[in-house]
């Protein structure tokens, strides 16, 4: 697992004097979504980007990571919906006559795993939030200071 950014350690209350005081602090921003995302992934982008921005966790540098999170979510939902339309088949008969797990189940399982793993990088799971202490004033919209 990569190192946790200092701002997440501050939110969690686990900062120490020996933390990197020179860690880059890019400006908060909602990046433009990539054009290749599915409709489902794009809807997740629209939902998450606003939430992460308000929490002070999103910059232009996070575009790729957020796109990966949203794309994994989109694949997961799309695979689950396709399985639902097919009547939730668990097994699939190959051309050799062998029965194997339906390929969409594997797709859904991998996408769900990727989503949960990547979402944790943004603090988007119960375990990732378990030790976070948030100051209510920190959740203010940064734009309010200018209006």
Query: What pLDDT, in 10s, does the model give residues 21-34?
Result: 777 788 999 999 99
Query: 119 — phi, psi (to 5°)?
Result: -65, -30
CA 20 – CA 12 distance, rounded (Å): 16
Q: Look at residue 24 and give its three-state secondary structure.
A: coil
Q: Which residues pair with 59 in a beta bridge?
A: 28
The yes-or-no verdict on residue 35 having pLDDT over 80 is yes
pLDDT tens track for 67-108: 999 999 999 999 999 999 999 889 989 999 999 999 999 999
Higher-confidence residue: 124 or 76?
76
Which residues are 38's β-sheet partners?
none
Burial class (CB in 10 A: 0-12, 13-18, 19+), 48: buried
Instruction: Give pTM, 2 decimals.
Output: 0.74
What stretches of the chain adopt beta strand conformation (E)? 91-93, 99-101
């Amino acid at each position: 697992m990569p190192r946790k950014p200092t701002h997440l350690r501050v939110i969690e209350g686990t900062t120490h004097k020996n933390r990197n005081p020179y860690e880059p602090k890019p400006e908060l921003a909602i990046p433009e979504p990539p054009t290749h995302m599915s409709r489902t992934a794009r809807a997740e982008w629209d939902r998450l980007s606003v939430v992460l921005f308000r929490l002070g966790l999103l910059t232009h540098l996070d575009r790729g990571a957020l796109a990966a999170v949203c794309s994994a979510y989109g694949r997961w939902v799309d695979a689950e919906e396709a399985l639902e339309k097919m009547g939730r088949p668990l097994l699939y008969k190959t051309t050799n006559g062998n029965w194997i797990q339906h390929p969409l189940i594997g797709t859904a399982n991998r996408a769900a795993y990727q989503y949960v793993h990547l979402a944790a990088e943004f603090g988007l799971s119960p375990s990732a939030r378990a030790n976070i202490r948030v100051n209510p004033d920190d959740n203010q919209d940064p734009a309010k200071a200018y209006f």
